[in-house]
Chain A
Amino acid sequence: MLKHLGPAFRMTLFLTVLTGLIYPIAVTGLCQLLFHDQANGSLIANGGRVIGSALIGQNFTMPKYFHPRPSAAGIYGYDASASGGSNLGPTSRKLFDRTKAAADQFRSENPAYRGSIPADALSASGSGLDPDISVANAKAQAARVARIRKVSRDRILALVSQNTNGRGLGFLGEPAINVLKLNLALDRLYPAY
């Protein structure tokens, strides 16, 4: 046993240098060179100032914007330095109460919408940073946004479908709409004052 400890420590240190330093530093160098934007977080600038990342959801509460899903990241939600889900179990009263509150809020914010509420609109995502909402969720909110921005609902719907990312390779995952990008497009095309 003891005679193996020599090679054991040497191997550990060698692998630390090879896979713990050379590998990540080389990959960082290559990524910074080849995929500079992605490697640094796909940050989005608006009017010369960075306002977030295209991949990280942020909170929207104003009626003129599309709203993201409920978030359990951090105390106020969408805390991008404290990712995580609610981890509430299916029989949890807390989950039940939160879903009820979210449903009431969704109905009161979108009085024109009468259908059943899309599943993603009432549930917190696993990361708490989900940048997307479902197509049905966006459509359900379209009337509210259109009314406040004083444009027809059809034009908002057209913008929603322009901003829909289809399934990966046509069949992977689900179609999704990036809320931040959609709201940026809204502000650009149909500014609300």
Chain B
Amino acid sequence: MTPNGVLQILAYFAIILLLTRPTGLFMAKLFDGKRTFLHPILRRVETFTYRICGVQEQVEQRWTQYTFALIAFSVASFVVIYVLQRLQGFLPLNPQGFSASNVPPDLAFNTAVSFVTNTNWQAYSGESTLSYFVQMSALTVQNFASAAVGIAAAIALVRGFSRERANTIGNFWVDLTRATIYILLPIAVIAALFFCSQGVIQNFNSYTHVKTLEGAGQVIAQGPVASQEAIKMLGTNGGGFFNANSAHPFENPSPITNFVQLILIFLIPAGLTYTFGVMIGDRRQGWAIFGACSAMFLAGAFTCYWAEQKGNPLLSRFGIEAAATPGQPGGNMEGKETRFGIAASTLFATVTTDASCGAVNSMHDSYTPLGGLVPLFNIQTGEVIFGGAGAGLYGILLYAVLAVFIAGLMVGRTPEYIGKKIEQKEVKMAMLALISTAFSILVFSAISSVIKFAPPTKDAKGQPAVHSYWNPPGAAASNVADSGAHGFSEMLYAYSSGTGNNGSAFAGITANTPWYDLTIGLAMLIGRFLFVIPLLAVSGSLVKKKRIPPSAGTLPTNGPMFVGLVVGTVILVGALTFFPALALGPIVEHFLMYQGRLFSLALFSF
């Protein structure tokens, strides 16, 4: 690790720390229904939205109504995206002439689910699959909407704590509208213009054909990228315009745009910890959550950086420079860009999986085993290290509920959090959320490791003739790009990423087959809705309770001891659930790598 690399990580953290308070205050005001400095301009758009959509701003909803509205909105979004993709051949702004045959039903299903659930898992490559119109009208829209849904759900949960003896937790449509119009849109416009000034493209041109300096042909993909790039990061969506995502120079041309992209990922999630503190009337509670996230963020960032800077011992025999020198970054540069080097790449990998973003500026599949373990474990523990826009806050609050429950068990008192008694119902719901996501990750990975489909038959010329519909390559495990432990990691990462609504990948895996499209699609649905619904139920139950003032026997939840307790809960629950699977993947691969073992693909094909 170089001093300069360490400086980048610390400078990034310092900026997030500085932005947390202003962002958090603004959001607290907004969701409490107070006027903000943007109201003079945007209030008219807001009321216009309510009029058009038939929303009554003053009417509040119980948790069941709030949940139904959220689900209905997700269903409507799903239908619209699915239809737009399948009809892309008949729609405008399609200079490359993509049609429905580029998006078969299973892929369209997977992509629709992926963008509605804020996952942005991409089984397709943008530049060879989707028209500009679909990228904008289906995908960019959901980058806003799915993030706004996450923020709304988080605010609804916070109201469960902040209100007492009430029945309602807000109005879903109002929260959705305010999150979109006052937070996401203004920042996205500014960020998009900044990105474009730095070289991110924004046009509707057809692909540019050039003859290179050496006289070869090159086709350069184009498109309205900057507008999608800005909201992709801000909404912690992560779905790239291009296959290479934020590694692509047209999405992320320089170290400065890279740094701004990183800031956009954590901006809302970090701010929401402060919003939480303001809304419940005890800012130190918000800072405690911020502290727990910070500790885990820094630990992950430095671990990942250290592992990648050490490089790959298998390749050192070729005289490759493993150490960082003034003229080159050293370390494991496979899948990383020169302009970012090791530090800015590993910081991005950590941040994008701390949050449920899933954008990548380097290819996680080519990370060293321990370097790749950090993003994988971040996702598996529920992306609660600041986390996704909204999703992070409600995730870490679930862990906070569990932490006070565990502490309560140890001392034999009824646990309380923010003055609310945590009882059977809250703990059951928190466990339901955690168990369903763990179930989805582990069971789908297990099934894909063993399930067999008919292997493709070959005709007389050795060309594949007949193959199974569900998975043309044959067994589900034969879709991986690497054999041995790493191949298992690719499958485990895919289902973790889907369930965690992250969207990044160990991208060597061929995930665009009906089997993977459907199972990962299901994993995304489980990870989104079996997390959000129990949590809104918790909110509905808490909102009825009165707030008890702290007494001598109350466990203080705004100090360092509680920070330690939350971190301990996250790590412990994560490790207990996933250690066996991780041992079969990255951990054993680490030891095999130092033993000098290599895997050729033949080992894994059936």
Contact = CB atoms under 8 A, between A and B. Distances in A.
Interface of A: 1, 4-16, 18-21, 23-24, 26-28, 30-32, 34-35, 38-43, 46, 49-62, 65, 69, 73, 78-96, 99-100, 103, 107, 115-120, 122-137, 139, 165, 167-169, 171-176, 180, 183-184, 187
9 contacts: A16-B137, A20-B136, A24-B224, A31-B196, A41-B222, A55-B253, A123-B335, A126-B337, A127-B247
Interface of B: 4, 7-8, 11, 49, 52-55, 65, 68-69, 71-73, 75-77, 80, 125, 127-128, 136-138, 140-141, 143-145, 173, 176-177, 180, 185, 188-189, 192-193, 196-205, 207-208, 210-214, 216, 218-222, 224, 226-228, 231, 242-244, 247-250, 253-256, 258-259, 311-312, 314-315, 318-322, 325-341, 344-345, 360-363, 365-369, 481-482, 484-487, 489-490, 506-508, 589, 592-593, 597-601
Contacts of A175: 327
A115 B222 CA distance: 40
A46 B365 CA distance: 38
B110 to A, nearest CB: 19
B327 A135 contact: yes
A56 B220 contact: yes
Given A10-B54, A96-B314, A24 B221 contact: no
A184 B214 CA distance: 11
Contacts of B601: 93-94
Contacts, number: 423
B338 A11 contact: no
Nearest to B189: A27
A72 B579 CA distance: 33
Contacts of A69: 338
A137 B320 CA distance: 11
The majority secondary structure among interface residues of chain A is mixed
Contacts of A11: 49, 53, 55, 73, 76, 173, 176-177
B137 A20 contact: yes
A167 B325 CA distance: 14
A92 B335 CA distance: 14
Contacts of A187: 213
A56 B366 CA distance: 22
Given A85-B247, A117-B320, A171 B4 contact: yes
A80 B481 contact: no
Contact of B335 (A8, A52, A80, A87): A87
B196 A35 contact: yes
B136 A24 contact: yes
B506 A87 contact: yes
Listed from nearest, the 5 A-B pairs whose CB atoms lie closest are A173-B255, A136-B327, A126-B247, A168-B255, A174-B341
Nearest to B334: A123
A125 B71 CA distance: 40
A184 B333 CA distance: 26
Given A53-B220, A126-B362, A171-B7, A90 B73 contact: no
A52 B484 contact: no
Contact of A99 (B250, B318, B325): B318
B389 to A, nearest CB: 15
Point out which of A21, A30, A51, A87 has the most chain B C-beta atoms below 10 A from its C-beta: A87
B102 to A, nearest CB: 14
A6 B52 CA distance: 11
B244 A126 contact: yes
A63 B487 CA distance: 38
A69 B329 CA distance: 14
A167 B2 CA distance: 14
A113 to B, nearest CB: 10
A149 B63 CA distance: 74
A91 B314 contact: yes
Which has the most chain B C-beta neighbours within 10 Å: A57, A119, A135? A119
A87 B363 CA distance: 6
Contacts of B333: 119-120, 122-123, 125
A5 to B, nearest CB: 5
A174 B362 CA distance: 14
Nearest to B509: A87
B240 to A, nearest CB: 9
A89 B583 CA distance: 17
A85 B366 contact: yes
B411 to A, nearest CB: 42
B339 to A, nearest CB: 5
A174 B338 contact: yes
Contacts of B53: 7, 10-11, 14
